[in-house]
């Protein structure tokens, strides 16, 4: 029986800067996960605020949004 679950994975700016994209994707593949989609993008501030809405009252929220918006990220399913 096929597994139809999908999970969102994001390689954050520091992982991208350090050139870890292939190493990270290989770890998932070695564990038996199938990468079905990958996109290189710069997340918009409004999208990040929605994505991290559960942390909006935390003191680090604005720094988190600024950091995630500072460089491209790799979004995967």
Domain limits, the chain: 9-76
Residue 39 tokens read as 């996109």
- Burial class from Cβ neighbours inside 10 Å (0-12, 13-18, 19+) for residue 64 reads middle
Reported as a single tens digit per residue, the pLDDT across 12-50 is: 999 988 999 999 999 999 998 899 999 999 999 999 999
Residue 32 tokens read as 């038996």
Whole-structure pTM value: 0.75
Note the CATH number of domain 9-76. 3.30.70.141
Output the pLDDT for position 1. 54
Output the pLDDT for position 53. 97
């Amino acid at each position: 029986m096929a597994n139809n679950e999908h999970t969102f994975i994001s390689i954050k700016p520091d992982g991208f800067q350090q050139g870890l994209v292939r190493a990270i994707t290989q770890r998932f593949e070695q564990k038996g996960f199938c990468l079905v989609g990958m996109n290189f993008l710069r997340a918009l501030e409004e999208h990040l605020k929605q994505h991290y809405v559960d942390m909006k009252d935390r003191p680090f929220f604005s720094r988190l949004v600024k950091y995630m918006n500072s460089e491209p990220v790799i979004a995967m399913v």
